[in-house]
Amino acid sequence: MAEESTSPLRVMAVFAHPDDPEFFCGGTFARWSAEGASITFVLATSGDKGSDDPEMTSERLALIREEEERRAAAILGVQEVIFLRYLDGELQPTLELRRDITRLIRLKRPDIVVTCDPNVYWYGTRSINHPDHRAIGAATLEAVAPSARNRLIFPELTRDEKLPIHKVRQVYICGTPDPTTKVDVTAYIDLKIKALREHKTQIHDMEAMEARIRSNVDPEAPAGQPRYMDLFRVITFER
């Protein structure tokens, strides 16, 4: 597996929920930001269903979770957070969602787009992947290619909004069982954990969360020298 060693200039990360960017690959975003990248987070939902509190409402929860995500993103050095405000738990890879993502790709013109693997239905025998994660992965990949690079798809974006096509250079797919690239985030694992600590509505045992993340050591690391890696399947487009 190749180890990524170069830094992108512009990154767009497209996920389903607040806390997804931090859990999936927060160390990578912290590293890229420290190395000078401009990063935009796009969250399809505001996480308005993520609570067991019988007194909580979806409207109130959405506001809280958006603020949690803004604080977490700031810790990682992310410059902008955009919420599309689709309903949590009901996300589908519709043409409407693909158009919204296509619009942002043409507007922000990222070198790299990061999103989830749309093909993962479960992780071993321990959990089922959230359907919103699959939906956002599918819609984002379809937005990258062909929609963002083809002027005849969603022609209103060019005609009415004057947004020219944009060809993303690479896609980084996280949460995949078939990674091709690893990013060394050892120096940024503390920032990832600090960012996750902002998601107080979602993480009820912060110490257990930290212990779990710190236990996920790169198995190829030398003895006594723990390393932490974020793993991705990377697609590089020919120009």
Q: What sign does the dihedral 235-116-134-178 (CA atoms) show?
A: positive
Give the pTM: 0.95
| Residue owning tokens 């993520």 | 50
80 is in which domain, residue-wise? 8-236
**Angle, alpha carbons 3-211-127 (nearest 5°):** 75
Predicted local distance difference test score (pLDDT) of residue 6:
63
Kindly state whether residue 2 falls inside one of the protein's structural domains.
no
Other CB atoms within 10 A of residue 208 CB: 10
Kindly state whether residue 48 falls inside one of the protein's structural domains.
yes
Under a CB-based contact definition with an 8 Å cutoff, are residues 73 and 41 in contact? yes
229-236, strands of its sheet edge to edge: 2-3, 181-184, 229-236, 170-174, 112-116, 10-15, 38-45, 80-86
In this predicted model, what pLDDT tens digit does every residue of 45-59 receive, in sequence order? 999 999 999 999 999
Predicted local distance difference test score (pLDDT) of residue 18:
98
Kindly state whether residue 37 falls inside one of the protein's structural domains.
yes
Strands annotated E in 32-79: 38-45
Predicted local distance difference test score (pLDDT) of residue 21:
98
Predicted local distance difference test score (pLDDT) of residue 8:
73
- Domain holding 206: CATH number? 3.40.50.10320
In this predicted model, what pLDDT tens digit does every residue of 129-177 receive, in sequence order? 999 999 999 999 999 999 999 999 999 999 999 999 999 999 999 999 9
Kindly state whether residue 213 falls inside one of the protein's structural domains.
yes
Predicted local distance difference test score (pLDDT) of residue 224:
82
Kindly state whether residue 80 falls inside one of the protein's structural domains.
yes
Around 141, how many Cα atoms within 13 Å sit in the side-chain half-sphere?
A: 17
Q: What is the mean pLDDT of the chain?
A: 96
Kindly state whether residue 184 falls inside one of the protein's structural domains.
yes
In this predicted model, what pLDDT tens digit does every residue of 196-227 receive, in sequence order? 999 999 999 999 999 999 999 999 888 888 99
Please, which pLDDT band fits residue 1 given cuts at 50, 70 and 90? confident
Q: What share of the chain is helix, strand, coil (3-state, %, to 5)?
A: 40, 20, 40
Kindly state whether residue 75 falls inside one of the protein's structural domains.
yes
In this predicted model, what pLDDT tens digit does every residue of 87-112 receive, in sequence order? 999 999 999 999 999 999 999 999 99
Structurally, how many domains does the chain consist of? 1
